[in-house]
Chains A and B, each alone.
Chain A
Amino acid sequence: MIHTHKKPSALRIALLWKTRRMLRRGGAAAKKFMPARSSLSNVIYWVVIAFLFLPLFVLLFYSFNAGRQTTWQGFSTVWYQKLVMESPELWHAFFNSITIALGSALMATAIGTLAAVGTARYSFKLKNFVSTMSFVPMILPEIVVGVSLLIFFAGVGLRLGLVTVWIAHTTFNLPFVYLLVSARLEESDPSIVEAGRDLGANESQILFRIILPMALPGILSAFLTAVTLSLEDFVITFFVTGPGGTTLPLYIYSMIRFGVSPVINSLSAVMVAGTVLLVYPMRNFLKVFAAH
């Protein structure tokens, strides 16, 4: 209609575009999450992402290299075959890692959840002491925890192996479980528990029917965090391990130190892919996680 009597000139179109863009910008400025006007921080962000991903892509690249050396000698999946078929020690270490991760996460979740319920619902003399003591292991450098546990195990005469690794992992997982479950319990509404009590629930019914179901998301995320921390740990495990207690990180360490086999490239690539597949469904959860 507007254009019937006048052909749109190039200038008109340009003007129209400009006003439109200006309008859009003005509208966006009212929102809190408009894209940053300074693109410098965005440029830095993407450079950092490239920096963070570069090593992972280099590993992926080498994992398909036919040669033993790092120089490219053609495409091959030989190192993936070797990883699956000819690496019994690696798989043994992998299963050790899984066992320790699940075992220590279970233990830490059980103990830590109980403690979180105790400190969230009741007040007692040692309450502040418990909170502080649960916080300290998190801020100690790993090496100090590892060294003190090693000296302790030697002193008590406990043989180093899977059991000592399990004890150590449960110990460093506990503070995280306690914090995550406590945070969840603090958010939940105490009047629900009172309502339950008014309706005649006893102590164990309150715990199992009300408190634990309410805290379940927190308990689950605490358990998963504990599993991840355990799978990841190298330094503490390095000190407290013994015969039969080799975990995957320790095995990778020995591969790096004493003769690198290119199997480490395919293993790393599989681990990176596994992480992406596991973490991707949780990407929305991450924002909540980072906000804590």
Chain B
Amino acid sequence: MKKHTGLLYTMPQILWLLVFFAAPLCIIIAYSFLRKGLYGGVEPQLSLDAYTAMANPNILLVTWRTLKISIIATALTLLIALPCGYSIARSKNQAIRLFLVIVPFWTNFLVRIYAWIAILGNEGFLNDILKALHLTSTGVQFLYNQTAVILVLVYMYLPYAILPLFSTIDKFDFTLLDAARDLGATKFQSYVRVLLPNIKSGLVTAGLFTFVPIFGAYAVPLLVGGKDSYMLGNIIADQLTKTRNWPLASSISMTVTVLTTGLVFLIALRKPREQKQVFDADPLLLQPVQAGKR
């Protein structure tokens, strides 16, 4: 009897997710193995076209670029978020300091992107200041390149990294740092050898929270990026709405899905000791740590 009650409670959620989450995913898996229809849609004919089309040098280039931008942006975000999380954890006014991090984060996503356009644009805030200082007469083009995309991505996902890092560092026993100093470690050694190994789980979470959404970024490269900063998300949208090649849009979506969920499960399913190996083998998450060692 009890068995059925539990199932009854969860049934609406199971059904909802089956219909509106699992079924759509299955459909794009199926579509990625079908042939493209003349006016969008698909022909009921099995084919690997969509996957061979991904070997197209253009798509390979964008894949590589997406990976590169995601790694650089994630590394920068972690490098900046780590001291911030530490500073909040050691502060007396944790609530206020967290509040200051959250406010910009709760401001609408597109409003924040627009704000950066207002700052970096050709007639924007920064160029106004440069012109007023007579450093430039024609204005500098800050927008529509990879640097702008990385800057705005770091801006967008900083709070995602600061929050988990804060909550891990907050649980850390700071007297261990004093102990390390008493035993002769320099301040720097005490951070790298004592603090960092203890907050590894927070670093991994923060890394995932930033890497996964950045890897699937769509709006940021569309609005502040140029030709050199087109990412996989933009290719998917173009294939879907402009070129109307649904199988190709599906196969690229599948690749993105497999890469990101694979990464998450790989890290989430590891036991703590094995996690270290993934960590060492993975330059992406190690980068900020190494930078700190220098």
Cβ contact within 8 Å between A52 and B9 = no
Cross-chain contact B10 with A272 (CB below 8 angstroms) = no
Question: Which chain A residues border B5 with CB–CB below 8 Å?
Answer: 118, 122, 203
Question: Given A36-B90, A44-B83, A174-B17: A143 and B216 within 8 A (CB)?
Answer: yes
Contacts of A34 in B (CB 8 A): 90, 174
Q: Which residues of A contact B119 (CB under 8 A)?
A: 54-55, 58
Chain B 80-122 interface residues, beta-carbon cutoff 8 Å to A: 80, 83-84, 86-88, 90-92, 94-119, 121
A10-18, A192-200, A215-223, A230-238 - the one binding chain B: A230-238
Q: Is the interface of B mostly helix, strand, loop or mixed?
A: helix
Contact call A148/B80, Cβ cutoff below 8 A: no
Contact status B10-A126, CB under 8 Å: yes
Check if A151 sits within 8 Å of B9, measured CB to CB: no
Q: Which residues of A contact B175 (CB under 8 A)?
A: 32
Within 10-26 of B, Cβ neighbours of A (below 8 Å) are at 10, 12-14, 16-17, 20-25
* A268: min CB distance to chain B, Å: 4
Q: Which residues of A contact B20 (CB under 8 A)?
A: 149, 152, 167-168, 170-171
Closest B residue to A34 by CB, please name it. B90
A115/B246 in contact, CB under 8 A = no
- Is A87 in the interface zone, CB < 8 Å from B? no
Smallest beta-carbon distance B57→chain A, Å: 22
Q: How far is the CA of A267 from the CA of B31 in the complex (A)?
A: 41
Across the two chains, which residue of chain B brings its CB closest to A265?
B118
Indicate if the CB atoms of A170 and B16 lie closer than 8 Å.
yes
Output the least CB separation between A25 and chain B (Å).
Answer: 13
| Interface contact B95-A284, CB-CB below 8 Å | yes
CA distance in complex: A69, B121 (Å): 12
A143 and B256: CB pair below 8 A? yes
**9 shortest A-B CB distances, which residue pairs?**
A141-B216, A122-B6, A118-B9, A55-B115, A115-B13, A152-B24, A148-B24, A45-B87, A36-B90
Interface residues of A (CB under 8 A from B): 29, 32-36, 38, 40-42, 44-45, 48-49, 51-56, 58-59, 61-62, 69-72, 110-112, 114-115, 117-119, 121-127, 130, 133-134, 136-137, 139-145, 147-152, 154-155, 167-168, 170-171, 174, 178, 203, 228, 231-232, 234-235, 238-239, 248-249, 252-253, 256-257, 260, 264-265, 267-268, 271-272, 275-276, 278-280, 283-284, 286-287, 290-292
B interface residues with partner A (beta carbon < 8 Å): 2-10, 12-14, 16-17, 20-25, 27-28, 31, 41, 80, 83-84, 86-88, 90-92, 94-119, 121, 123-125, 128, 155, 158-159, 162-164, 166-167, 170, 173-175, 178, 187, 208, 212-213, 215-216, 218-219, 223, 233, 236-237, 240, 246, 249-250, 253, 256-257, 260-261, 264
